[in-house]
Chain A
């Protein structure tokens, strides 16, 4: 299994990944004022990682400002989509094979970061009741340019949001096929059906299947965020790995294990969430998943100035599960 971290480009981060034994990395690129990611930048980043023995095959995510008009169905979306096509073609030329995007018009939602985790670790939480009481506070606030859309100025129904997504896919999927790039949709986190009057559509297994079936293509599938899917009400995340994995629709995945489901969940350490992560690793093997899977966020650990303790712990845990399954299920053959 191709275990990865999401990294910047500093020597410290790159050495850390190497010493953890990683060979894969995912990364965001900042929104480009031109509206698309430039070939030289993509090649440069890929080469930079390659110098440290790290293969950069997944962009996480398509910068939101590059397609906000498309998400909301606003005038100017065709120009934006043309530029996203340029991004996809440039990725193909640079040899970066997966582009993850999300379709959360209002971004991610959380209500608290509270010291209620193991040993007082600060965990990120979502509580729908709290979010309803103070909706603006639940938005994913990110300062500066490139931040997500914030307080909405209109309402959008689920069908309107689906129409916008369908328009996006119909335009991009043929280009992705031609460029050899896979488009991986990240589910809506938190997975609630609507917020502040704006529908959230990738919030159930049915929604994810509808996305796959909307423009069927080997280049249209999922960024399988385990954490988001596990926090969907009533969903068994491991069954979901099998369901989408058998269809070869998991292009990329996130390793996370929350506790609880909508309406209330919290992001605890991966060994203490509701899902059996060993069973998850076995399910990925069973369906022949061969994509990159990135270690996701977990609580902060005391004194962890560079988040290396929390990520070191998680990489160790994940690597241990993968190694154990390989050794045990292969009958001890290395």
Chain B
């Protein structure tokens, strides 16, 4: 795996920041998705001597209509296909998407973490039972249709399409929510099994949703969940953070507040031959930090670099 930073390539000083802290892979968080913007993003990263290893995530605005009926849906998918083709033409290896493409209000509260750092708590609705309601099946059908059209385009373009796991989606009511367990993610690859289709994993989601539920249901532990998808070469990117369950949800903690879990997690990713970008998530939020959280990122980069060095 390779240490990377998620940033906006149009911020000169952030490119410099990455380089100074020894991070040479960028995951692009781009402000627009037309060809010219994407080309400019890639060129700026390359001119800086860095590598644009992926684009973080297709925006909800671009994909949302894929949930609608007929014409609107097809038009939205056409737009996504054009983006994928552009991304491939520009030689950017990977692109993220989330599903469902809706915004979820997932932060239950912001509390104080270590030293008064601002720590978000995400609402988690655990499944009471395996729901197979009509809304869920509609969501799956829409996703299946979406993938049926976009995955071949990704294959042709040489772009690895990464489903971006998102803890905020676990706040959705169960009947409207899919892709929240190992079984559900397995289904994702039954629907679209191309080697160009994989996962951008939020490590907090892995530990607090996938690992949590599977340990209740099947006894799988977090590292086994990682191996499960890693062995199938489905892990395309990892966002590293430390979440921990509380009464009200999953709370952010610094990576070193659970050093064993952080290290064992990285070892599991490494053992499966994961070669993609490993991005620190700068949480909890440190006091007097910038909006982008330069301070928090600096700590996270340093910590992950050391763990990577130690596990060799």
Q: List A residues at the B interface (Cβ < 8 Å).
A: 12, 15-21, 53, 117-121, 269, 271-272, 278, 299, 301-304, 306, 308-310, 312-321, 323-328, 332, 334
Chain B positions within 8 Å of A325 at CB level: 310
Contact of A316 among B20, B257, B284, B299 (CB under 8 A): B299
A21-B114, A317-B305 given; name 10 further pairs at CB < 8 Å.
A20-B299, A269-B22, A303-B294, A309-B21, A312-B296, A314-B302, A316-B302, A321-B310, A323-B262, A324-B307
Q: How far is the CB of B297 from chain A (nearest CB, A)?
A: 8
A18-B115, A303-B13 given; A323·B299 CB < 8 A: no
Instruction: Give the distance in Å from the alpha carbon of A304 to the alpha carbon of B290 in the complex.
Output: 11
Q: Is the interface of A mostly helix, strand, loop or mixed?
A: helix
CB of B127 within 8 Å of the partner chain: no
A19 touches B287 (CB 8 A): yes
A312 touches B256 (CB 8 A): no
Chain B positions within 8 Å of A15 at CB level: 115-116, 287-288
Nearest 5 CB-CB pairs, A to B?
A320-B306, A316-B302, A18-B115, A119-B19, A324-B310
With most chain B CB atoms within 10 A of its CB, the pick from A272, A317, A318, A320 is A320
Binary interface profile of B, 228-267, with partner A (CB < 8 Å = 1, else 0)?
0000000000000000000000000010110110111000
Chain B positions within 8 Å of A308 at CB level: 288, 295, 298
Chain B positions within 8 Å of A12 at CB level: 287-288
B299 touches A321 (CB 8 A): no
A278 touches B310 (CB 8 A): yes
A21 touches B257 (CB 8 A): yes
Contact of B303 among A119, A302, A303, A319 (CB under 8 A): A319
Binary interface profile of B, 264-296, with partner A (CB < 8 Å = 1, else 0)?
100000000000000000001011101000111
A-B contact pairs, 11 of them (CB 8 A): A15-B288, A119-B20, A302-B13, A306-B288, A310-B298, A316-B302, A318-B306, A319-B303, A327-B260, A328-B263, A334-B259
Q: How far is the CB of A16 from chain B (nearest CB, A)?
A: 7
Chain A positions within 8 Å of B55 at CB level: none
Kindly report which residue of chain A lies nearest to residue B282, judged by CB atoms: A312
Contact of A324 among B115, B263, B300 (CB under 8 A): B263
Chain B positions within 8 Å of A118 at CB level: 19-22
B306 touches A319 (CB 8 A): yes
A119-B16, A119-B20, A325-B310 given; A309·B116 CB < 8 A: no
Instruction: Give the distance in Å from the alpha carbon of A326 to the alpha carbon of B259 in the complex.
Output: 9
B22 touches A271 (CB 8 A): yes
Instruction: Give the distance in Å from the alpha carbon of A21 to the alpha carbon of B309 in the complex.
Output: 21
Chain A positions within 8 Å of B192 at CB level: none
B17 touches A309 (CB 8 A): yes
B256 touches A323 (CB 8 A): yes
Chain A positions within 8 Å of B284 at CB level: 19
CB of B117 within 8 Å of the partner chain: yes
CB interface residues, B 1-60, toward A, < 8 Å: 13, 16-22
Kindly report which residue of chain B lies nearest to residue A334, judged by CB atoms: B260
Interface size on B, residues (CB 8 A): 42
Chain A positions within 8 Å of B296 at CB level: 312
A301 touches B259 (CB 8 A): no
Q: How far is the CB of A312 from chain B (nearest CB, A)?
A: 4
A303-B17, A316-B306, A321-B309 given; A327·B259 CB < 8 A: yes
CB of B170 within 8 Å of the partner chain: no
Chain A positions within 8 Å of B298 at CB level: 301, 308-310, 312-313, 316
Contact of B116 among A18, A312, A314, A332 (CB under 8 A): A18
CB of B71 within 8 Å of the partner chain: no
Kindly report which residue of chain A lies nearest to residue B260, judged by CB atoms: A334
B302 touches A313 (CB 8 A): yes
Instruction: Give the distance in Å from the alpha carbon of A312 to the alpha carbon of B300 in the complex.
Output: 8
Chain A positions within 8 Å of B115 at CB level: 15, 17-21, 53
CB of B311 within 8 Å of the partner chain: yes
A15-B287, A320-B307, A324-B310 given; A302·B17 CB < 8 A: yes
Contact of B305 among A16, A271, A315, A334 (CB under 8 A): A271
Chain B positions within 8 Å of A320 at CB level: 256, 302-307, 309-310
Q: How far is the CB of A20 from chain B (nearest CB, A)?
A: 6
Instruction: Give the distance in Å from the alpha carbon of A312 to the alpha carbon of B295 in the complex.
Output: 6
A271 touches B309 (CB 8 A): yes
Instruction: Give the distance in Å from the alpha carbon of A315 to the alpha carbon of B17 in the complex.
Output: 17
Instruction: Give the distance in Å from the alpha carbon of A306 to the alpha carbon of B301 in the complex.
Output: 18
Kindly report which residue of chain A lies nearest to residue B287, judged by CB atoms: A15
Instruction: Give the distance in Å from the alpha carbon of A310 to the alpha carbon of B309 in the complex.
Output: 19
A316-B298, A325-B310 given; A332·B260 CB < 8 A: yes
Instruction: Give the distance in Å from the alpha carbon of A162 to the alpha carbon of B299 in the complex.
Output: 42
Binary interface profile of B, 77-113, with partner A (CB < 8 Å = 1, else 0)?
0000000000000000000000000000000000001
Kindly report which residue of chain A lies nearest to residue B284, judged by CB atoms: A19
Chain B positions within 8 Å of A121 at CB level: 20
Q: How far is the CB of B20 from chain A (nearest CB, A)?
A: 4
Chain A positions within 8 Å of B290 at CB level: 303
Q: How far is the CB of B51 from chain A (nearest CB, A)?
A: 14
Instruction: Give the distance in Å from the alpha carbon of A334 to the alpha carbon of B256 in the complex.
Output: 12
Contact of B20 among A17, A117, A315, A334 (CB under 8 A): A117
Kindly report which residue of chain A lies nearest to residue B290, judged by CB atoms: A303
Chain A positions within 8 Å of B22 at CB level: 118, 269, 271-272
Q: How far is the CB of B181 from chain A (nearest CB, A)?
A: 27
Instruction: Give the distance in Å from the alpha carbon of A315 to the alpha carbon of B113 in the complex.
Output: 18
B116 touches A301 (CB 8 A): no
Kindly report which residue of chain A lies nearest to residue B311, judged by CB atoms: A324
A309 touches B260 (CB 8 A): no
Instruction: Give the distance in Å from the alpha carbon of A306 to the alpha carbon of B299 in the complex.
Output: 15
